[in-house]
Amino acid sequence: MIAIEEVRSRFIKHFDGKTGNIYASPGRINLIGEHTDYNGGFVFPGAVDKGIVAEMRVNGTEDMIMAYAIDLKDRVDFHLNDPAGPRTSWARYIYGISKEMQKLGVPVKGFNIAFSGDVPLGAGMSSSAAMESCFACGLNDLFGDNKVSKWDIVLAGQATEHNYCGVNCGIMDQFASVFGQAGKLMRLDCRSREFEYFPFDPKGYKLVLINSCVKHELAGSPYNDRRNSCEHVVKAIAAKHPEGKFETLRDCTWEQLEEVRAEVGEEDYTRAHFVLGEKDRVLAVCDALVAGDYETVGKKMYETHEGLSKEYEVSCEELDFLNDIAKECGVTGSRIMGGGFGGCTINLVKDELYDAFIETAKKKYFEKYNKLPKVYDVVISDGSRKLC
Ligand code: GLA
C-alpha cells in the first residue's frame, strides 16, 4: 500500500496547507468465476494489498471539486453541478461517484482531494473499483454520517462505471474492494447477493500474478459486446418459455441454451456456453477448496482459461503464451484474471516450483516479446476503510 505520509504531504502542498481525512481501498484478485457477475452467477474474489489512498477535505464551496492525481502530477478542478463533468478520465470517477452518492441522499458539496495508487493500471486488478470505493467511503464519511450501507457503496461504484465511464460491468470488483477481509476470499452469488468468506491459506502453494503488461481497456465495445451477447441469449430463451422467469444466464439451463442455438447464432451461443460452464466451475472450486483438493482447483483454473480464450474470446496471444508456460512448468492452475484483453494471469503454484516458474516465465516472455512480465505475490487484504 501507498505511504500515507506521501499523500498527506502532497495534499498539504497542493491545497491550502490544511489536512483532511485519509481513506484507502484495495484492488482485487479473482480465483475463479469470470464474466459471471453480470450473468447472475458466482465469483470468488478477494481484496489485495495494493490499492488507492486518498486524502479528502470539505472545502466550504457549493460544488467546486479540486482534485490532484499524485502519480500523474495532474490537477483537475471542476464543478459538480456541471452536467457534462470533467473530461479527464480519472476525474470522471470522482465526478461520477459524487453524483451517485448524491442520488443516495448524501449531500455532497465542494471538497479537495489528492490520491495515489499502486494497483497496476490495465492489469485486470480493478484500479477503477479501488478508486470508486475509496472516494465513496470518503464522501460517505465527510458528507453522509456514514449512513450509506456497504452494498449501496458497491452499487454506486458500479453505477459510476455504467453512467460515467462507459463500462457495463458487474458487481464483483466493487464488492471485493468494499467487503474484502485479510486472508479471506469471498464467494458471492451475484443474483441473491449472498456471500460467504473462505479463509484462504493453501499450505504448500503460492498464488502469484504475472502481468503480461498488455494494458487492457474495458471501456468501449469488446466487454460490453460480451454482455450484450449474453443478454441476447437470455431474451431468446425467455421468449421460448413465457412461463418462466429468465433475468440472466444464471436462470437458464444447458438444454434451453441448445434450444436457441440456431436462432442466436454461433458467436452468442458459444459465449453463453462459456458462462454456463463457468458457473459450475466456481461451485466445484469451492467444494475442492473446502476439501483441500488443490489439484482440482488448478484443473478448473486451466479450464476457465481455455474457455475465456477459445469460447469467450477475451484472451490475447501474450496471455495464452503465459498460460502455456505455466503448464510446461507444472504449475497447478493458471488462467487469465479479470475482464481479459490483456492484464494478468493468476497462478496457483507449488512452493517448490515457484522460483523455477517465475524465472522461466520471465526468460521466455522476454525472448518472445522483448519485455519482462511483472510478478506480484498475492496478499489477501482488508477492504475499504478510513485510515485517519
Ligand atoms: C471486469 C468487470 C467485472 C467482471 C470482470 C470479469 O473486471 O469490472 O464486473 O465482469 O471484468 O469477470
Give Dmax over CA atoms of the chain in angstroms.
66
Instruction: Report the C-alpha gap between 147 and 376 in whole angstroms.
Output: 36
Dist. CA 76 → ligand 1 center (Å): 28
How far the first Cα of the chain sits from its last, in Å, is: 15
Q: Please tell me the total number of residues recorded for the chain in this structure.
A: 388
Full-model pTM: 0.97
**One-character DSSP codes across 307-331:** IIIIIS----HHHHHHHHHHHHTT-
pLDDT tens sequence for the chain (388 residues): 778 999 999 999 999 999 999 999 999 999 999 999 999 999 999 999 999 999 999 999 999 999 999 999 999 999 999 999 999 999 999 999 999 999 999 999 999 999 999 999 889 999 999 999 999 999 999 999 999 999 999 999 999 999 999 999 999 999 999 999 999 999 999 999 999 999 999 999 999 999 999 987 776 679 999 999 999 999 999 999 999 999 999 999 999 999 999 999 999 999 999 999 999 999 999 999 999 999 999 999 999 999 999 999 999 999 999 999 999 999 999 999 999 999 999 999 999 999 999 999 999 999 999 999 999 999 999 999 999 9
Strand pairing category for 42-43 and 184-189: antiparallel
Give pLDDT tens digits for 274-312. 999 999 999 999 999 999 999 999 999 999 999 999 999
Q: Write the CB contacts of 60 (distance below 8 Å, at least 6 apart in sequence).
A: 110
Instruction: Report the C-alpha gap between 203 and 112 in whole angstroms.
Output: 45
Cell of 268: 452468442
Pocket test for ligand 1, best of 121, 169, 217 (most atoms within 8 A of CB): 169
Instruction: Report the C-alpha gap between 371 and 336 in whole angstroms.
Output: 19
Ramachandran area for residue 244 (φ above 0: left; ψ -120 to 50: alpha; else beta): beta
Determine which residue's CA is closest to atom 1 belonging to ligand 1.
339
Instruction: Report the C-alpha gap between 317 and 334 in whole angstroms.
Output: 15
Dist. CA 274 → ligand 1 center (Å): 15
